[in-house]
Chain A
């Protein structure tokens, strides 16, 4: 699968910048056992964005990543109990505390004013092309869809699902589009490899062609 342009990789991700800023606090001893589990749970509860194992390890004054991962598994098991309404989701390279899908009907009642509009077929189609073929230019997207995609690209950028990740080294240096972290979050994807497989469709096409 084509990944982001090399240009985009040179820029440190917001998370790496944050990790660099989470200097160890000498007054705190790294938590262990029950204390560690409680701290991880509290951190996840208080975070509005997914936290990676690495980030958790740094925040917890250097508790080894293996131990953080074990703690996460422990929490997952605990949330697995039927009387728990919470679960852990692996999203956008990190872990996030979330409500269980079994409780959706109830939680929705609290947030009924916040319903967001579903993406139109045109937006979704273009988003699929960008997700699977990134980095990609507008002209390349239009070649596949057979229609003008200017306003659609703007909408996707306004929704922060798509961003410009570089410029193609051809005449005019057209911008290259790729999906954002918000895209991974909106679709509950761990990373781009978690996208539904394109290979299956390719194989089908080859078998027949």
Chain B
């Protein structure tokens, strides 16, 4: 049987997905699968993967072995009168058509549920909600009365005198993100049309923040949200919104 669907190989989510596809194109009843025909077609697909030099995942080969096993068992004459469940029967059960159908049906169910989840997601994405609400400072958290500079010095000295706790393991939470930095740059463009890159980097407190900033700048330049310009080598890089300029320099 020739398959016109070879080009679709990489779109399958795995051996079960491929099998479901075969059941569908052959218009077979999933509860009454013709194992020999399906097996032949399945092997053809796996062969095509080899021809195309695609890396065949072990999962596909395992399924191929299962299918061949079921097919070969179907060819063997049935043992008569063996009522008791032997060890062989148990293995039989594991590689049985029944089990395969059960797995296929279960997989198909989740494929369908995934589709309805997708619909839910699309529905939800049509609504916009507020995000990252900037907290407003109503006033200083504590009343700062007249303070002697010595009070501050004393407080600082107390902190220095405090015995350091032994630290076994230090967990640092991620404070900066590429998205956050992107947002920050957009925020700056509300009040200015030009940003000096060096200023942004100088303001970074950690290497992680600097990396996030760099990635944000590169990504924004890639999606044509900003342009990067430099007057000469080693000069400061100027960041401007894309709308202001049609071409970018350097």
Contacts and interface: CB of A to CB of B under 8 A. Distances in A.
Contact of B133 (A47, A99, A124, A187): A47
A129 interface: yes
B118 interface: yes
B133 A46 contact: yes
Contacts of A201: 109, 112-113
A40 B120 CA distance: 27
A89 B124 CA distance: 10
Of the four ranges (under 10, 10 to 19, 20 to 34, 35 or more), the interface on chain A belongs to: 35 or more
Contact of B63 (A98, A129, A146): A146
A145 B130 contact: no
Interface in B78-124: 103, 105-107, 109-114, 116-118, 120-121, 123-124
B154 interface: no
Most buried by A among B31, B121, B131, B223: B121
B21 to A, nearest CB: 13
Contact of A198 (B113, B114, B186): B113
A198 B31 CA distance: 19
Nearest to A105: B126
A201 B118 CA distance: 17
B114 A124 contact: yes
Contacts of B110: 125, 128-129, 132, 144-145
Contact of A144 (B106, B112, B132): B106
A131 interface: yes
Interface residues of B, number: 37
B28 interface: no
A7 interface: no
Nearest to B16: A146
A119 interface: yes
Contacts of A111: 128
A36 B248 CA distance: 54
A118 B116 CA distance: 14
A128 B105 CA distance: 15
Nearest to A196: B116
Nearest to A104: B126
Contacts of B107: 144-146
A45 B121 CA distance: 23
A160 B225 CA distance: 27
Contacts of A47: 130, 133
Nearest to B105: A205
A96 interface: yes
Most buried by B among A46, A129, A147: A147
Of all A-B residue pairs in the complex, the 8 with the closest CB atoms, nearest first, are A188-B124, A147-B14, A101-B126, A98-B127, A196-B116, A128-B114, A146-B16, A99-B128
Interface of B: 13-17, 31, 57, 59, 63, 103, 105-107, 109-114, 116-118, 120-121, 123-124, 126-133, 186, 223, 225
Interface of A: 45-48, 87, 89, 96-101, 104, 107, 111, 113, 118-119, 121-122, 124-125, 127-129, 131-132, 144-148, 185-189, 195-196, 198, 201-202, 205, 208-209
22 contacts: A45-B130, A48-B129, A48-B132, A89-B129, A96-B129, A97-B129, A100-B127, A101-B123, A101-B126, A118-B118, A119-B118, A124-B118, A125-B110, A128-B111, A131-B113, A132-B113, A144-B110, A146-B59, A187-B124, A188-B127, A189-B120, A196-B113
